Amino acid sequence: MRTMVVTGGTSGIGKGIAAHYLRQGAHVIAVGSSEQRGAVLRAEAQRAAWKGKLTVLRVDLSSVAAGRRLVDSLVEAEPILDNLVLCAQRYRLTGGRVETAEGFEHSFALAYLSRYVLSHGLLPALERSPGPVIANVGTPGLRLGRIHWDDLQLTRRYGGTRATLQSFRANDLLGAAFPQVRPDSAVRYVGYHPGVVRTGMPASQPQPLRALSAASLALLGRGVEQAIRPLVALLDDPPEERFTAHRGRRRLSVDRPTFDTTAALRLHRETQALLD
């Protein structure tokens, strides 16, 4: 039985992936921070009688310690993991800077550090799969935002959009570094941009941003079912190359500056130092 971990598996794109593979009979471990979204997914799975096995784990992935505990428990409980799909995200485009209990800027912690901790931490279980794939869902290759090397935690010039875009660019570098720092790994690392998709994202925004983003997603967004199709194809039949980036069905060049290997290795080293 295929076993997969889906962070953000209780809403939007992550939930679409969870449902797709539950229908196919996989064991899906969906991770989210709220009791309520987890309970809704459990109830839907029961109603639909999907043939797979659903495990819902409630973990606040903005905490590095909680992410590490999740890794330890998964590696112990699941000797073989086939896929890790990284979707957990909470945009904080308005309001002031929020710092986690561990001293990290919130977007950096949730959208980037948790993905770093899970991608590297779950490797022992992923390496036992015959075709392991990590899919990092975000906006790979987008020419917006940058890494603020002199102030990664944005303590001096914080902005919600700046922090969100930095977390996206950090994930581009996480993927680009992967084959370099894990040269012997069989894992295929896939960066995936789903396009604009109607998901639960607006629900967690304050007004009037909630109404605005709900209206624009309703107008411009695709449905989850459509948005996950290319991602499913990548998980089922991953590219040969160790790291690839995609926007929907379109494969992106990894020669773009956002995937610069020197920057990727630098961020890898700096992240390791932050986590030590």
Binding residues vs ligand NAP (CB under 6 A): 8, 10-14, 31-34, 37, 59-62, 87-90, 110, 137-139, 193-194, 196-197, 199-201, 221
What's the min distance (Å) between Cβ of 226 and ligand NAP? Answer: 12
Q: What is the DSSP letter of 175?
A: H
Tell the residue number behind the tokens 């990092």, with chain if given: 136
Q: Which is nearer to ligand NAP, 83 or 139 (CB)?
A: 139
Nearer CB in complex with ligand NAP: 186/214: 214
* Shortest Å, Cβ 268 to ligand NAP: 20
Cα dihedral 209, 246, 83, 147, rounded to 10, equals -60
Minimum distance, C-beta of residue 46 to ligand NAP, in the bound complex (Å): 18
- C-beta separation of 190 from 136 below 8 A: yes
**Minimum Å distance from CB 262 to ligand NAP?**
25
Q: What is the crossing angle of helices 261-275 and 160-181, to 10°? A: 100
* CB nearer ligand NAP, residue 1 or residue 196: 196
Supply φ then ψ for residue 262, to 5 degrees: -65, -45
Which of 98/180 has CB closer to ligand NAP?
98
1 or 212: whose CB is closer to ligand NAP?
212
Residue type at 149? Answer: W
Indicate the length of the chain as a whole number: 276
Taking the complex as a whole, the smallest distance from the CB of residue 99 to ligand NAP amounts, in Å, to 14
Task: Find the residue with minimal CB distance to ligand NAP.
Answer: 12
**Cβ neighbours, 10 Å, residue 253:** 9
Q: Which of 230, 227, 203 is nearest to 214 (CA)?
A: 203
